[in-house]
């Protein structure tokens, strides 16, 4: 968002002022001390606000098409959070469109975090977003969504101003002030945009392909395939700003099928096809299922080969049955594409772990995937290349980059 030069840098604070009004007031005052204005939005329902807001709860509820008093009278916390989440998102979007703030911040437990991050997820990537939360641990992907929400662990509950929380809130104020006042990067010459998928086990391939595409005049955005990365890639494709997709690393589909910790989600490998955007796809790291910490090992993976990456991350080899299901899934998604679609099948290994001599090398298992793709991919709709190489072969990487360039240029 371009900043209005006629106003001071401003932070929007969104929260439930009936339960956390004093904590919000403290954060607001620390921000103002640093010369930055604050716009305080109240999304509370039950009690009276403990500090005066700039945007009232009635306005927030009205934006969701509900009456705040009716919500309070119902005494249904879940319904109240859902309604005020919708209203808060609409208010935040309107204020952003009007150029009224430069960063957004919030405080909360699980309910407040759900409410505030629902609004944050509606804002474009690049708008600073800070969530100070008791829930900033474990799986936080539901709060991030596919955008750039920053989370800060509150350590203690946000329930009274004590020596620990006040220090955390001072840090949060500093972070929000810094983000709200940071100069936007100088615009660079616009280049056609390509998105690419990568993981550690396919990094050499994507690096070579990315560098070649950059030589050809493209800007390449690379997304890390850890569940949320694939969803973020698909969200960027939805914007319509992307001219091509280099989907080398489809590993999240194996977690989707095999019960891994980073599942793909329903739209993975579908958006480019639906929009008719040229895509070059491969099978990077479909040869393993990511299972999280090796100890304790989930019972469903007992008896399977395990590769320990570190003390918080391990993987197991994809089975032939899982491969057949994955192959059918890939074929169905690619066959539905309305634009140019090319699939490269590297026959000598889908990641660093399954090439000859490596821990997961199993050509017979791989053949279950390859056979399924040969049977189910519609050659009249999908251009299929079986290549006698492993995924990280530089020549394969260059071939995929060049083919995508041909599709985009054509």
Same domain, 21 and 114: yes
Same domain, 224 and 373: yes
Same domain, 307 and 386: yes
Residues 206-259 pLDDT 10s: 999 999 999 999 999 999 998 889 999 999 999 899 999 999 999 999 999 999
- Does 186 fall in a domain? no
Residues 66-87 pLDDT 10s: 998 998 888 887 888 899 999 9
Contact 276, 245 (CB under 8 A): no
Q: What is the CATH number of the domain that holds 49?
A: 3.40.50.12020
**According to the 3-state scheme, what is the secondary structure of 345-395?**
EECCCCCCCCCCCCCCCCHHHHHHHHHHHHHHCCCCCCEEEEECCCCCCHH
The edge-to-edge listing of strands for the beta sheet with 10-15 is 37-42, 10-15, 103-108, 129-133, 150-153
Same domain, 293 and 174: no
- Can you tell me the distance from the alpha carbon of 237 to that of 231, in angstroms, rounded to the nearest whole number? 10
Same domain, 169 and 197: no
Give the domain extent around 338: 193-409
Same domain, 209 and 329: yes
Please give the radius of gyration of the chain, using alpha carbons only, rounded to the nearest integer: 24
Contact 147, 131 (CB under 8 A): no
- Does 292 fall in a domain? yes
pLDDT band, residue 1 (cuts 50/70/90):
very low
- Does 278 fall in a domain? yes
- Can you tell me the distance from the alpha carbon of 350 to that of 248, in angstroms, rounded to the nearest whole number? 10
pTM over 0.75: yes
The total number of structural domains in the chain stands at 2
Same domain, 142 and 259: no
Same domain, 274 and 314: yes
Same domain, 385 and 260: yes
- Does 267 fall in a domain? yes
Same domain, 207 and 160: no
Residues 266-290 pLDDT 10s: 999 999 999 999 999 999 999 999 9
Same domain, 199 and 342: yes
Token pair for 150: 């920053």
Same domain, 273 and 137: no
């Amino acid at each position: 968002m371009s900043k209005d030069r006629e106003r001071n840098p401003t932070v929007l604070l969104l929260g439930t002022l009936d339960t956390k009004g004093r904590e919000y007031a403290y954060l607001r005052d620390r921000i103002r001390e640093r010369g930055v204005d604050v716009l305080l939005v109240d999304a509370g329902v039950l009690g009276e606000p403990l500090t005066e807001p700039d945007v009232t709860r009635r306005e927030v509820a009205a934006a969701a098409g509900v009456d705040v008093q009716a919500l309070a009278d119902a005494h249904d916390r879940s319904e109240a959070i859902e309604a005020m989440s919708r209203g808060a998102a609409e208010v935040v979007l309107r204020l952003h469109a009007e150029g009224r703030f430069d960063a957004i911040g919030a405080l909360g437990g699980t309910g407040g975090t759900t409410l505030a991050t629902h609004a944050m997820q509606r804002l474009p990537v690049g708008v600073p977003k800070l969530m100070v939360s008791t829930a900033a641990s474990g799986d936080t992907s539901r709060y991030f969504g596919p955008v750039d929400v920053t989370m800060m662990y509150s350590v203690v509950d946000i329930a009274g101003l004590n020596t620990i929380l006040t220090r955390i809130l001072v840090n949060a104020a500093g972070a929000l002030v810094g983000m709200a006042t940071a100069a936007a990067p100088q615009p660079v010459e616009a280049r056609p945009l390509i998105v690419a998928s990568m993981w550690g086990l396919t990094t050499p391939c994507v690096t070579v392909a990315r560098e070649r595409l950059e030589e050809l005049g493209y800007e390449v955005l690379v997304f890390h395939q850890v569940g949320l990365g694939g969803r973020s890639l698909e969200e960027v494709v939805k914007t319509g700003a992307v001219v091509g997709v280099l989907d080398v690393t489809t590993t999240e589909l194996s977690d989707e099928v095999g019960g891994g910790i980073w599942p793909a989600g329903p739209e993975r490998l579908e958006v480019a096809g639906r929009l008719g955007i040229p895509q070059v796809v491969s099978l990077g790291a479909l040869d393993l299922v990511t299972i999280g910490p090796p100890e304790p090992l989930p019972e469903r993976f007992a008896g399977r080969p395990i590769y320990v990456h570190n003390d918080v991350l391990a993987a197991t080899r994809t089975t032939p049955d899982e491969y057949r299901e994955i192959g059918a899934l890939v074929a169905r998604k690619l066959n539905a594409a309305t634009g140019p679609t090319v699939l490269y099948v590297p026959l000598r290994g889908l990641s660093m772990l399954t090439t000859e001599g490596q821990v997961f090398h199993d050509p017979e298992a791989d053949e279950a995937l390859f056979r399924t793709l040969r049977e189910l991919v519609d050659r009249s709709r999908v251009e299929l290349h079986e290549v006698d190489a492993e995924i990280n072969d530089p020549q394969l990487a260059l071939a995929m980059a060049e083919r995508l360039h041909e599709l985009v240029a054509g």
